[in-house]
Structure 1
Amino acid sequence: MSNFTALNISTLFFFLFLIFNSSHETNVTDYAALMAFKSHLILQPDNILSTNWNHTIHFCNWYGISCFNHSRVNYMQLSGLSLQGKISSDIANMTHLVVLDLSGNNFNGILPSELGFLQELRILNVTGNSFQGDIPVNLSKCFKLETLDLSFNFIEGNIPKELGFLSNLQHLALDHNNLTGIIPTSFGNFSKLEYFYLHENDLVDEIPKEIGKLSSLLVLGLRGNNLVGSIPSSIFNISTLQIVDLSINRLSGQLPNEDDLGMPNLERLFLDSNRISGRIPRFISNATRLNYLYLTENDMFGHIPNDFDRLTNLVWFEFEYNRISGNIPYGLFNITSLEILKTRHNYLSGELPSDLGNWLPNFAEIFLSHNQFSGEIPSSICNATNLVYLEASNNSFSGPVPMMLGNLVYLEHLNLQHNSLVNVHDSLEFLDSLVNCRRLQFLILESNPLSGILPESIGNLSSNLKVFTAISCELKGVIPHGLGNLSSLNYLGLSLNNLQGEVPSSFSRLQNLERVYLSRNQFEGSVPDVFCSISILGILALEENNFSGSIPTCIANLTQLKEITLASNKLNSTIPLGFWKIEHIEALNFSRNFLHGSIPNEVGNLKAVNIMDLSYNDFSGEIPDSIGSLQSLLTLDMSRNKFEGSIPSTLSNLIVIDFLDLSSNGLSGNIPASLGSLRDLKYLNLSFNRLEGEIPHTGVFKDITFEYLMGNPNLCGSPNLSLPLCYVQKKRRSSLVLKITIPISAILVLVFILCVVFHRKKRVKNATKTYSTYMGGHEIITYQELVQATEAFSESNLVGEGSSCKVYQAEFSDGSVAAIKVFNMHYAKALKNFDAECEVLRNVRHRNLVKVISTCSNLDFKAMILEFMPNGSLHDWLHSKSDSLSLVQRLDIVSDVAMAIEYLHHEYEVPIVHCDLKPANVLLDEDMTAHVADFGIAKILAHDHEFIQTKTLGTIGYMAPEYGLDGHVSTKGDVFSFGILLLETFTGKRPTDDTFKEDLSLHQWVKMVFPDALTEVLDSNLFSDFNVVKAGSNASINKNRDHTKEFLVPIIHVALLCLKELPEERIDMRGVTVQLKKIRGEVQKIYSK
């Protein structure tokens, strides 16, 4: 018995020893893992771990650590400590770990794959760090995981489909990373998932329909990816969903329209910035708990459902930049919870309810601009006393401005521009009421026929007012002295009115003023020196007034000035010397005054200037050499002055200049040959000077016409310009005459005899009788030569074909290559087109118009021999070629086209309308320079006619509205066609694309997203092929992408100015070229670096 007892006691001690050792070894394992974790830290800002994690304290009592039964670590929570370093793989040795929370630190490197060994883990949270690399596939082995939060890191690669095995997952957050690839279909297995965040990654392809199986889902966040296709209808049947955010993707198709779809718990639905089409579905009205509904920037059409008044909890409703039409349902304005309504850029119409403001106690923001609303702005809007933003611009509102706007004491932004609002009193009395709006910052009234006087009370408006513009409002009288009280004013726009008198001295108190527009009024007196004290002034526009006297010398104080326009006044002084030291000036226009004196060398200080217009003044002296240092200069106009001396050769340093006018001065000497090296120079006018010598032969001089050189009797060099040959050429010619006169005399006798014999034997055939009927002075090319050069008009030489003609490439016996445009004589209007094209091209000369070499014509055959364009047409490059055009190439091409059309409209002796401007009629030479072609339906306008009527149609999609409806052909029709050409060039979409059906056009498609979401409609090649040209690193690629977007907005803006509905509202081609020059100069500065 005693032996048995002794044995049992020995066994007991043995097991106790094993247990002790096992516990000790386990403690050592977790302790070692924690020490390894600590050793990988390189920064501990608060030194918490340094002072607390040491051997004097048991590790279970260390900061952020909790243990089970004081033995094994099961909680490790170290969030928000700004720890920096990498995660040791030894952490996987803490196999009892349940919670690992390292969020809000600066950990980097990759997530260890060994994390997959933590099979007790329920929460893994590393959000807000700098982890990189892929998501470890081994995490799929953490089967008990309930929360996986890897958000706000730099994790990349595909999402492992194996994560779908985590059947207990309730919270999955992978958002704000660099993940690519698709959303795995295996995620449909997350039957317990409640929170699903994948937004702000680069995920592609469609949303898996399996997501509709997540029956416990509360939040679905997929915003900011590249997801495409339709939204699975099954998602809208997840009854538990509270928040759905699918915005900023490329989702398309229509939303399901079943009325019985149920989302009874839905509170927020974000579908904005996609390509969703179709109508707003009625099932949304079933989501009666809905607070936020975002449908902005899609392609939705139709009406707002009438039963949306069921959304009694709606707080925010926006559907801007769509094609929604009809009235806003009356019931929508009865939703008392509504705070924000954004409807901009749609086709909404009708009148607003007269009691609009009576039922909206919480109304804070209403945006109605760019629609077709009519009628009066309801005076009841003044009862919505919480209103902060009221924007109703660009509609057809009429009647008076509500008189009680002063009730809106929280109002910060009031924009009523571009309507037909009127004023019922001599004074703009509604401004008196606005004095009560002490938070008002933006007051925008421009382009309304208010026809009144600014009241003195304007000076009592909010001291927070930053922007006040009443441009083109038919204002009269004087500017009230009290306007100077608006001490926060940053932008003042009063141009295009009938204001008179002097600018008040109180303007000197407007010390925050950066932009002033007072042009096109009747102001008089001296240019006010009150502006000189506004040190931050950037833009001063005073043109077309009656200012007289001198330019204030104190203007030199305006060191931040970027644009100054004093054109078309009665100024009669010199330009103050200090002005030439304002180094930030980008544009100055002093034209059409009586300014005099010389231009000093200090003009070279204006390094940022891109437009300088000094024309129509009395300036004298020499043009300083230093002007050649202005390498940002795009436009230099010094015409109609008294400049003398030679043209500075330094002008050849103006590397981006494209407009140079030195005409009507007293300049002498030779034309610098170096001007021919200015690659971008499109317009050069040297007429009416005293220039002499030979005309250079390169660059712009290759295509210059006589009108730009006339009035210089001592110029020589080109018979084609009606100028004599130069002396050297004459001498060479005389020596040749002596050598050939005698042989020629003998030969002529023989030739005469042979001709008589030949004439008797010759049989005339209409099919071979050729002559240059229209193109006098050009080389005659026979029909037989055309047959030989085109291999009998072989299909292999066919380079283009239309209904009225075919174009062949021809190679003549001397090796020269030309394009032969053969008119289809079976086409009813072929002869008329041939005659029209000859009539236009016989005299016009411009480097961007296709050159005619000769014609070949008889009764049965009509052909034009044109300069061959080896790079095809702009249409080919946009829609056929595998290579794409860069931003710079596209901008160069459209600038070339604009210059050509400007010449036809404004610079030729009579206006010529092309009538069929489109990419197919823009041909590209070996240098990718654009040449406008095909004048078959062009029209020549008489001097006293702005338009003519015709039944000849251009091409569908490119024609101006008035052209197709009334047959009215004018230069503004070409402007419209150019606008379409611009959009096609930069979007890559034809105006006849299948996308554009019913009431949607290319123009409207672009306008709906302009400018905020413009990149959605632009040709994606603009952000790829071009940008890698200058890329030396990822940073430079991103920089170029940013610049590309920056330049595309003003380009598309020019297109939209061309596409105004009414011809008289469209910009003209002169304005187009000015705008494109400026943009092109900025592009050149960035991408030539």
Structure 2
Amino acid sequence: MVTSSCFLFSMVVVVLIQFIRTSETNITTDQSALLAFRVHIINLDPQHILATNWSSATPVCNWAGVTCIRRHNKVAALNLSYMGLVGTIPPDIGNVSFLTFLDISNNSFSGNLPKEMAHLPRLKDLYLDYNEFGGGLPTDLSLGENQFTGAIPQSLGHLGLLEVLDLAGNNFVSHSSTLELSFLTSLTSCRKLRALALDDNRLNGFLPVSIGNLSTSLKMLSLGRNEIMGTIPPEICNLSSLLVLSLPGNNLTGYIPTTIARLQKLQGLNLTDNQIGGPIPTEVCHLPNFDRLFLTRNQFSGPVPACLGNVSSLRNLNLSGNKLSSSIPESLGNLNDLLKFDVSSNSLGGDFPSGLGSLRVAVVIDLSINQFSGNISATIGVLQNLVYLSLAHNTLQGNIPETFQSLISLEALDLSHNNLSGVIPKSLEALSHLRYFNVSFNKLNGEIPSGGPFENFTSQSFASNEALCGLTQFGVSQCHSDYQLRTSERIIIISDLSTISFTVPGMGVLFVLIRRRKSKRVPTEKDLQSLVHQRITYHEIFEATNGFVESNLIGSGSFGSVYKGVMCDGMVVAIKVFKLHPEKAFRSFETECEVLRNIRHRNLTKVITSCSNLDFRALVMEYMLNGSLEDLLYSHDDYLGIKKRLDIMIDVACALDYLHHEYGLGGLVSTSSDVYSYGIMLMETFTRTKPADEIFAGGMTLRLWVRESLPDEITKVVDMDLLRQGEELLTKDVQCLIAIMELALECTKESADERVFTRLCSSPISRVSTSALVKVNVHKCIDATIIAHCSIRRDN
């Protein structure tokens, strides 16, 4: 079965085959074996590389995908992945005796695997995932995402050096008279096993007690979406190295064993879609590294444990679809790093939990289909990272708080099926990202706002209220007072990763882009699931960028390039393709993507999805229509004045401040490196000179050039365009530029400990008076004082 997902190592199967073969063969034998392989390929690659390159007239070591050991003149590696090949694997492959690496993943090979593959004594890395192999499984191989059938053989336990076993996405069944998954017992002999994935099969049996005897090196145990019955054995606590325990989509019953407290390294527990009941055990509160708990759609009852508020590492808490009762403990307000909180579809009640206002980094909050009452707390308005908020199907009363206007990242707001009264605040027109809005089945009255995101809402958003009025598209009567349609657009600055070393490790560089945000369509209920990350394949990216053609190149830097792409559904995106430096190629790309996916800030572009495999890594992001800061800065047709350039750099600082206080405190971003890069960018923005300009030679640098110009020769380094706007710069403009350059020098000091830190957004910029034109010291931090010095007033 061919899928459309790109995973980093998750579907890679590394099999260490324990066969010894003493016979040696020459390069002619290798050539004959590979030519036989080519004959068994029914449909050669679309580029006809094999058809023209794989011939006896060309040395085999020069063939596409072939790597030789020159010392022995033998084929050592064969990589034909992602070539669109159709065919079978011939027995001749067993004659390539020096083969250590074989990758034919992501093609359309089918048929059985020849037993002769077991005759490859040096084979260590085997990648056959995402093909169409069928038949029985050889006892000395393990493969995922194919169409293997039958029982998983007990003989897998003979692979004593096996480290990763991935048989997910096949049609394996459990054949055992005791109804136990007995093959798990055989795997207890694999003492080096680190990961075991058997998801998406038909293993209808019980988990054996012997599961606790699996390798103590096991870090991931994933058995989701099978037909596993019975309870979770308490002996599972013996897997002391376990980081992830994933058992969703089964028929498990009973309780969560209290012995789970002994899994001190456990980071994630997923029991979604089972029939497990009883109270949520307080033992889960004693796991020091616990960051995600998924108990969705089970039979759990009783209260939400108050001790969960002590698990400071929690990032994702989903208890929806159970029978939980009582109120939400105030202690959950202590979870300062919680990103997603979902307790929907329970029987929770009491007053609206005011402690939610403490979840400052939350992206998703869902309290829908419960019994909460009282007024919505105004404190929720401080959650500026919130993307999705649902309070639907409760008995909430009172008004919609005006503080909702501060939820600047909000994309979906559902307040339907409550007892809310009063008017819909007109200030909600400022929520420029809002795509879904539902206040139906309440007691609201007055005029429905029509500006901003409300331009795209329909009558479904406002049905069954008492006395709403407004535009006919809302399905309500017209208001008696005159109303003029208002629309609002604002230019925002977003940062992508492209030109200077910046933020998340390995992610690379800052790229400032400008666009006007405007929604193009109204989402359906199904669109609410769009927050869930879905992967994309290399081929989809290749097609979207027209083969990474240069005309689609937006920008490039030391860490990669950004391309414009058009997806198959017409969506225009920006695609960042990373360079894979050898020393950085195996960084925790998935962790970094998770961080970026959860970032929500008005000045940061949203990451939509990612693609990652051994040879390719990319991020797919929102596309900004109006180009980049670099385009504007070096254009002969556009002019950026001092105020506009400073506005842009303030927005960049706001984005950095956000990253440093969500993620910087946890070590996920390098604040000192970012500040240095920010300082260099300040210099380039106001001098219109690149750090790599040819004028910098013989030890001269951009920083040294700027430093030597201060304070009396500042006009010799600043952009000449700034000097041409009038006969000469005003004194206050010169002082402003001096302050900016002094700040840039402070940001780029050689000692990281002496660099200033970005705290611009914490200052009351909007209150800065234009009369505050006093000389200030900008050597402590990036704050509102530089704005005052430059006579600038910020209205957003």
What TM-score results when the alignment is normalised by the length of structure 2? 0.57
1:908-947 CA-to-partner distances (Å, cap 9, x unmatched) read xxxxxxxxxx99xxxxxxxxxxxxxxxxxxxxxxxxxxxx
Query: What letter matches 1:362 in structure 2?
Result: R
CA RMSD of aligned residues (A): 4.4
Which residue in 2 is equivalent to 1:458? Answer: 211
Which residue in 2 is equivalent to 1:423? Answer: 174
1:322 and 1:1008 in contact (8 A); partners too: no
* 2:109 aligned to which of 337, 348, 356: 348
1:181-207 CA-to-partner distances (Å, cap 9, x unmatched) read xxxxxxxxxxxxxxxxxxxxxxxxxxx
CA distance in 1, matches of 2:185, 2:527: 51
* 2:569 aligned to which of 972, 981, 991: 981
1:1024/1:711 CA distance change after superposition, 3 Å: closer
Which residue in 2 is equivalent to 1:323? Answer: 84
Alpha-carbon deviation of 1:599? 2.9
User: Between Structure 1 and Structure 2, how many residues are aligned?
Assistant: 509
1:609 and 1:632 in contact (8 A); partners too: yes
Query: What letter matches 2:273 in structure 1?
Result: R
1:692/1:561 CA distance change after superposition, 3 Å: same
1:332/1:586 CA distance change after superposition, 3 Å: same
* 1:406 aligned to which of 157, 163, 166: 157
Give the SS at the match of 2:245: strand
1:627/1:279 CA distance change after superposition, 3 Å: farther
* 1:338 aligned to which of 76, 88, 99: 99
CA distance in 1, matches of 2:53, 2:516: 42
Give the SS at the match of 1:468: strand
2:279 and 2:303 in contact (8 A); partners too: yes
Which residue in 1 is equivalent to 2:580? Answer: none
Pick the structure with greater CA Rg: 1
1:85-108 CA-to-partner distances (Å, cap 9, x unmatched) read xxxxxxxxxxxxxxxxxxxxxxxx
1:905/1:431 CA distance change after superposition, 3 Å: closer
1:279/1:899 CA distance change after superposition, 3 Å: farther
Which residue in 1 is equivalent to 2:131? Answer: 371
1:1027 and 1:1037 in contact (8 A); partners too: no
CA distance in 1, matches of 2:299, 2:622: 50
1:147-173 CA-to-partner distances (Å, cap 9, x unmatched) read xxxxxxxxxxxxxxxxxxxxxxxxxxx
Which residue in 2 is equivalent to 1:875? Answer: none
- Structure 1 runs not aligned, ≥5 long: 1-258, 261-274, 297-303, 382-389, 731-846, 848-885, 907-917, 920-977, 989-1006, 1040-1084
Which residue in 2 is equivalent to 1:445? Answer: 198
2:414 and 2:439 in contact (8 A); partners too: yes
Query: What letter matches 2:254 in structure 1?
Result: G
Give the SS at the match of 1:665: coil
CA distance in 1, matches of 2:273, 2:84: 37
1:312 and 1:337 in contact (8 A); partners too: no
2:341 and 2:364 in contact (8 A); partners too: yes
1:723-767 CA-to-partner distances (Å, cap 9, x unmatched) read 34445569xxxxxxxxxxxxxxxxxxxxxxxxxxxxxxxxxxxxx
Query: What letter matches 1:408 in structure 2?
Result: L
Give the SS at the match of 1:501: coil
Q: Indicate whether 1:632 and 2:376 are aligned.
A: no
1:535 and 1:560 in contact (8 A); partners too: yes
1:356 and 1:378 in contact (8 A); partners too: no
Superposed, 1:392-791 pairs within 5 Å as 392-425=143-176, 426-718=179-471, 721-726=474-479, 728=481
1:548/1:440 CA distance change after superposition, 3 Å: same
CA distance in 2, matches of 1:701, 1:646: 19
2:54 and 2:64 in contact (8 A); partners too: no
Which residue in 1 is equivalent to 2:523? Answer: 899
CA distance in 1, matches of 2:328, 2:219: 32
CA distance in 2, matches of 1:889, 1:1023: 7
CA distance in 2, matches of 1:396, 1:584: 41
1:617/1:326 CA distance change after superposition, 3 Å: same
Alpha-carbon deviation of 1:463? 0.6
CA distance in 1, matches of 2:317, 2:620: 34
1:372-423 CA-to-partner distances (Å, cap 9, x unmatched) read 1111211244xxxxxxxx5x21111222222111211111111111111222
CA distance in 1, matches of 2:398, 2:444: 10
Alpha-carbon deviation of 1:491? 1.0
2:234 and 2:258 in contact (8 A); partners too: yes
1:901/1:671 CA distance change after superposition, 3 Å: closer
Query: What letter matches 2:65 in structure 1?
Result: L
Query: What letter matches 1:398 in structure 2?
Result: T
1:541-562 CA-to-partner distances (Å, cap 9, x unmatched) read 1011111111111111211111
Query: What letter matches 2:322 in structure 1?
Result: N
Give the SS at the match of 1:647: coil
CA distance in 2, matches of 1:569, 1:471: 19
Which residue in 2 is equivalent to 1:148? Answer: none
More helix by share: 1
Alpha-carbon deviation of 1:365? 2.2
CA distance in 2, matches of 1:501, 1:661: 35
Alpha-carbon deviation of 1:497? 0.7
Superposed, 1:1061-1072 pairs within 5 Å as none
Query: What letter matches 1:369 in structure 2?
Result: D
Query: What letter matches 1:685 in structure 2?
Result: N
Alpha-carbon deviation of 1:611? 0.8
Alpha-carbon deviation of 1:486? 0.6
1:887 and 1:1022 in contact (8 A); partners too: no
CA distance in 2, matches of 1:695, 1:728: 12
CA distance in 1, matches of 2:136, 2:296: 35
Which residue in 1 is equivalent to 2:663? Answer: none
CA distance in 1, matches of 2:202, 2:80: 30
Give the SS at the match of 1:361: coil
Larger RCO of the pair (alpha carbons < 8 Å, separation 6+): 2
Query: What letter matches 1:324 in structure 2?
Result: L
Alpha-carbon deviation of 1:898? 7.5
Alpha-carbon deviation of 1:517? 0.9
Alpha-carbon deviation of 1:905? 13
CA distance in 1, matches of 2:241, 2:334: 28
Give the SS at the match of 1:508: helix
1:787-821 CA-to-partner distances (Å, cap 9, x unmatched) read xxxxxxxxxxxxxxxxxxxxxxxxxxxxxxxxxxx
1:538/1:891 CA distance change after superposition, 3 Å: farther
Superposed, 1:931-1010 pairs within 5 Å as 980-981=568-569, 985=573, 1010=612
CA distance in 2, matches of 1:983, 1:543: 32
Give the SS at the match of 1:980: coil
1:197-238 CA-to-partner distances (Å, cap 9, x unmatched) read xxxxxxxxxxxxxxxxxxxxxxxxxxxxxxxxxxxxxxxxxx
Query: What letter matches 1:351 in structure 2?
Result: N
What TM-score results when the alignment is normalised by the length of structure 1? 0.42
Alpha-carbon deviation of 1:353? 1.3
Query: What letter matches 2:115 in structure 1?
Result: S
Alpha-carbon deviation of 1:315? 3.0
1:499-535 CA-to-partner distances (Å, cap 9, x unmatched) read 1111111111111111111000010111222211112
1:729/1:704 CA distance change after superposition, 3 Å: same
CA distance in 2, matches of 1:596, 1:904: 24
CA distance in 2, matches of 1:680, 1:280: 52
Alpha-carbon deviation of 1:669? 1.7
1:699-745 CA-to-partner distances (Å, cap 9, x unmatched) read 23334323322222122344554534445569xxxxxxxxxxxxxxx
Alpha-carbon deviation of 1:684? 1.1
1:483/1:618 CA distance change after superposition, 3 Å: same
Query: What letter matches 1:463 in structure 2?
Result: T
Query: What letter matches 1:407 in structure 2?
Result: H
1:983/1:398 CA distance change after superposition, 3 Å: farther
Query: What letter matches 1:281 in structure 2?
Result: N
